Amino acid sequence: MSDRLDATFSALADPTRRAILVRLRSGATSVTELAEPFEMSLPAISKHLRVLERGGLITRSREAQWRPCQLEASPLKEAVDWLEGYRHFWEGSLDRLDTYLKELQAKAPASNPIKKHAPSKRPVRRP
Protein backbone atom coordinates (compact mmCIF):
# COMPACT_ATOMS: atom_id res chain seq x y z
CA MET A 1 0.00 0.00 0.00
CA SER A 2 2.90 2.35 0.71
CA ASP A 3 4.09 2.30 -2.92
CA ARG A 4 0.57 3.01 -4.15
CA LEU A 5 0.18 5.91 -1.69
CA ASP A 6 3.55 7.27 -2.78
CA ALA A 7 2.44 7.19 -6.42
CA THR A 8 -0.90 8.80 -5.56
CA PHE A 9 0.60 11.65 -3.54
CA SER A 10 3.33 12.16 -6.14
CA ALA A 11 0.68 12.51 -8.84
CA LEU A 12 -1.33 14.92 -6.70
CA ALA A 13 1.71 17.09 -5.95
CA ASP A 14 1.40 19.04 -9.19
CA PRO A 15 -1.33 21.68 -9.68
CA THR A 16 -1.71 20.86 -13.38
CA ARG A 17 -2.41 17.22 -12.57
CA ARG A 18 -4.91 18.21 -9.88
CA ALA A 19 -6.66 20.46 -12.41
CA ILE A 20 -6.80 17.58 -14.88
CA LEU A 21 -8.46 15.40 -12.24
CA VAL A 22 -11.02 18.13 -11.58
CA ARG A 23 -11.87 18.21 -15.28
CA LEU A 24 -12.23 14.42 -15.35
CA ARG A 25 -14.82 14.45 -12.55
CA SER A 26 -17.44 15.34 -15.14
CA GLY A 27 -16.65 12.28 -17.27
CA ALA A 28 -14.27 10.82 -19.83
CA THR A 29 -12.43 13.44 -21.85
CA SER A 30 -9.96 13.34 -24.72
CA VAL A 31 -6.35 14.37 -24.30
CA THR A 32 -6.92 17.29 -26.65
CA GLU A 33 -9.86 18.55 -24.58
CA LEU A 34 -7.86 18.14 -21.38
CA ALA A 35 -5.00 20.18 -22.85
CA GLU A 36 -7.17 23.14 -23.95
CA PRO A 37 -7.04 25.30 -20.79
CA PHE A 38 -3.31 24.79 -20.27
CA GLU A 39 -0.57 26.75 -21.95
CA MET A 40 1.58 23.72 -22.68
CA SER A 41 2.17 21.31 -25.51
CA LEU A 42 0.33 18.02 -25.99
CA PRO A 43 3.53 16.07 -25.17
CA ALA A 44 3.76 17.95 -21.85
CA ILE A 45 0.12 17.11 -21.07
CA SER A 46 0.83 13.50 -22.02
CA LYS A 47 3.66 13.39 -19.48
CA HIS A 48 1.25 14.59 -16.78
CA LEU A 49 -1.26 11.95 -17.87
CA ARG A 50 1.40 9.22 -17.61
CA VAL A 51 2.13 10.28 -14.02
CA LEU A 52 -1.59 10.21 -13.22
CA GLU A 53 -1.88 6.81 -14.88
CA ARG A 54 1.09 5.41 -12.88
CA GLY A 55 -0.60 6.72 -9.76
CA GLY A 56 -3.73 4.79 -10.72
CA LEU A 57 -5.75 8.01 -10.82
CA ILE A 58 -6.76 7.79 -14.48
CA THR A 59 -7.20 5.18 -17.18
CA ARG A 60 -6.75 5.79 -20.87
CA SER A 61 -8.45 3.82 -23.58
CA ARG A 62 -8.84 3.90 -27.32
CA GLU A 63 -12.11 4.11 -29.20
CA ALA A 64 -11.31 4.48 -32.91
CA GLN A 65 -9.66 7.93 -33.19
CA TRP A 66 -10.83 9.05 -29.75
CA ARG A 67 -8.51 8.37 -26.80
CA PRO A 68 -10.52 9.17 -23.70
CA CYS A 69 -9.09 9.57 -20.21
CA GLN A 70 -11.24 8.64 -17.26
CA LEU A 71 -10.92 9.33 -13.55
CA GLU A 72 -10.21 6.39 -11.24
CA ALA A 73 -11.15 7.48 -7.74
CA SER A 74 -10.14 4.41 -5.69
CA PRO A 75 -6.56 5.65 -5.04
CA LEU A 76 -8.04 8.93 -3.76
CA LYS A 77 -10.17 6.96 -1.31
CA GLU A 78 -7.06 5.14 -0.06
CA ALA A 79 -5.30 8.50 0.41
CA VAL A 80 -8.29 9.91 2.30
CA ASP A 81 -8.40 6.82 4.53
CA TRP A 82 -4.70 7.25 5.31
CA LEU A 83 -5.15 10.96 6.07
CA GLU A 84 -8.14 10.21 8.28
CA GLY A 85 -5.83 9.05 11.06
CA TYR A 86 -4.23 12.46 11.13
CA ARG A 87 -7.61 14.18 11.27
CA HIS A 88 -8.33 12.22 14.43
CA PHE A 89 -4.94 13.29 15.82
CA TRP A 90 -5.66 16.99 15.20
CA GLU A 91 -9.20 16.79 16.53
CA GLY A 92 -7.86 15.17 19.70
CA SER A 93 -5.22 17.88 20.04
CA LEU A 94 -7.79 20.63 19.59
CA ASP A 95 -10.14 18.98 22.09
CA ARG A 96 -7.31 18.86 24.66
CA LEU A 97 -6.52 22.53 23.98
CA ASP A 98 -10.19 23.44 24.43
CA THR A 99 -10.29 21.59 27.76
CA TYR A 100 -7.12 23.35 28.92
CA LEU A 101 -8.47 26.79 28.00
CA LYS A 102 -11.70 26.11 29.87
CA GLU A 103 -9.67 25.11 32.94
CA LEU A 104 -7.68 28.35 32.73
CA GLN A 105 -10.86 30.39 32.42
CA ALA A 106 -12.37 28.64 35.45
CA LYS A 107 -9.28 29.48 37.55
CA ALA A 108 -9.21 33.16 36.49
CA PRO A 109 -10.78 35.68 38.86
CA ALA A 110 -14.32 36.73 38.01
CA SER A 111 -13.50 40.45 38.06
CA ASN A 112 -11.28 42.08 35.49
CA PRO A 113 -7.76 42.26 36.97
CA ILE A 114 -6.86 45.26 34.84
CA LYS A 115 -7.88 48.54 36.43
CA LYS A 116 -8.53 51.46 34.19
CA HIS A 117 -6.85 54.61 35.35
CA ALA A 118 -8.58 57.95 35.11
CA PRO A 119 -6.87 60.41 32.80
CA SER A 120 -4.53 62.85 34.43
CA LYS A 121 -6.07 66.19 35.51
CA ARG A 122 -2.80 68.08 35.02
CA PRO A 123 -3.09 71.07 32.80
CA VAL A 124 -1.45 70.86 29.43
CA ARG A 125 1.22 73.53 28.94
CA ARG A 126 1.35 75.16 25.58
CA PRO A 127 4.28 77.19 24.38
| Tally of domains in the chain | 1
Which range of residues forms the domain containing residue 58?
A: 2-75
Query: From edge to edge, which strands make up the β-sheet containing 58-60?
Result: 29-30, 68-71, 58-60
What proportions of the chain, in percent to the nearest 5, are helix, strand and coil? 55, 10, 35
The percentage of residues in the chain with a pLDDT greater than 90, rounded to a whole number, is 54
CA 59 to the chain's CA centroid: 23
- What percentage of the chain reaches a pLDDT higher than 70? 84
In a domain, 46, yes or no: yes
Q: For the domain that residue 63 is a member of, what is the CATH number?
A: 1.10.10.10
Query: Does the residue 107 lie in any domain?
Result: no
Whether pLDDT at 63 is above 90: no
Over range 40-61, report the average pLDDT. 94
Identify whether 117 is part of a domain: no
What integer pLDDT is reported at residue 1 of this predicted model? 65
pTM: 0.68
Q: What is the mean pLDDT of the chain?
A: 86
How far apart CA 25 and CA 36 sit, in angstroms, is 16
